[in-house]
């Protein structure tokens, strides 16, 4: 098994935009941990963050140009909201292809991903699984866009603990592709998913 080839998601760099995005993830979590009960000077924090956004916007390429750039090449995406090292919304989840055709990743989710008290939001589990099933299709055979996704919630998914996310392509019938996946904690399945995908693509911007 080729360890390098089996990395299915972008690896974060320790510099450039990836490092700034990692710092932005810290800011997101710290703001939520602080809340309104903290004695931090929040209007000053807002000013500092707005100044960073202003600075970035002054130097950013046009949206159209950036869209072409981010979709260049055929490799893994760097901007998606699940695995993307350029997207601070992403936890991020890193996925690895296994020899048996399945894919897997481990992630710890903090307070920004909370649904019920102390547990992961059901919609965040859906987000992680939709993406993982898509990547599982890329790894296992033909891939496409989600047509139908069903999630079953077996038990609450804990925050602040390692979660194992898996995906596997299970059937290809013409343009119809089926994949399944799970999120587990401590060896027990918390959420399972099955998805129907259709082998089509939105054209890339050029």
Residue selected from 7, 76, 142, 151 as contacting a copy of itself according to rule CB under 8 A: 151
Which CB sits closer to a copy of itself, 20 or 171? 20
User: Is the peptide bond prior to 62 cis by the omega test (within 30 degrees of 0)?
Assistant: no
CB of 205 to a copy of itself, least distance (A): 5
Closer of 52 and 199 to a copy of itself (Cβ) = 52
N-term to C-term CA, the chain: 35
82 binds a copy of itself (CB under 8 A): yes
38 is a contact residue toward a copy of itself (CB under 8 A): yes
Q: Report if residue 129 touches a copy of itself, rule: CB under 8 A.
A: yes
Q: Which of 81, 86, 78, 107 is nearest to 95 (CA)?
A: 107
Q: Please give the angle made by the CA atoms of 149, 153 and 158, to the nearest 5 degrees.
A: 120
Report residue 18 as tokens. 């990836």
CA distance 109 to 121: 10
Binds a copy of itself by CB under 8 A, chosen from 46, 106, 108, 171: 46
Does 188 sit near a copy of itself (CB under 8 A)?
no
Taking contact as CB under 8 A, which single stretch among the options 13-21, 98-106, 163-171, 178-186 is the one that binds a copy of itself? 13-21
Neighbours of 154 (CB within 10 A): 13
138 lies in the site for a copy of itself, by CB under 8 A: no
């Amino acid at each position: 098994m080729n360890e390098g080839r089996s990395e299915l998601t972008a690896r974060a760099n320790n510099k450039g935009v990836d490092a700034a995005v990692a710092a932005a993830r810290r800011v997101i979590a710290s703001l939520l941990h602080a809340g309104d009960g903290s004695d931090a000077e929040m209007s000053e924090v807002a000013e500092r963050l707005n100044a960073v956004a202003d600075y970035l916007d002054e130097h950013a390429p046009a949206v159209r140009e950036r869209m072409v750039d981010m979709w260049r090449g055929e490799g893994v995406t760097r901007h998606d909201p699940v695995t993307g090292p350029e997207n601070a919304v992403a936890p991020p989840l890193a996925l690895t292809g296994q020899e048996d055709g399945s894919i897997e990743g481990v992630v710890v989710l903090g307070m920004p991903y909370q649904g019920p008290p102390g547990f992961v939001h059901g919609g965040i589990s859906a987000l992680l699984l939709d993406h993982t099933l898509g990547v599982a299709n890329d790894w296992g055979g033909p891939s496409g866009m989600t047509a139908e996704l069903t999630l079953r919630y077996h038990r609450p998914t804990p925050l602040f603990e390692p979660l194992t996310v898996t995906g596997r392509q299970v059937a290809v019938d013409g343009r119809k592709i089926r994949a399944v996946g799970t999120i587990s904690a401590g060896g027990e399945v918390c959420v399972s998913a099955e998805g129907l995908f259709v082998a089509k693509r939105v054209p890339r911007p050029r």
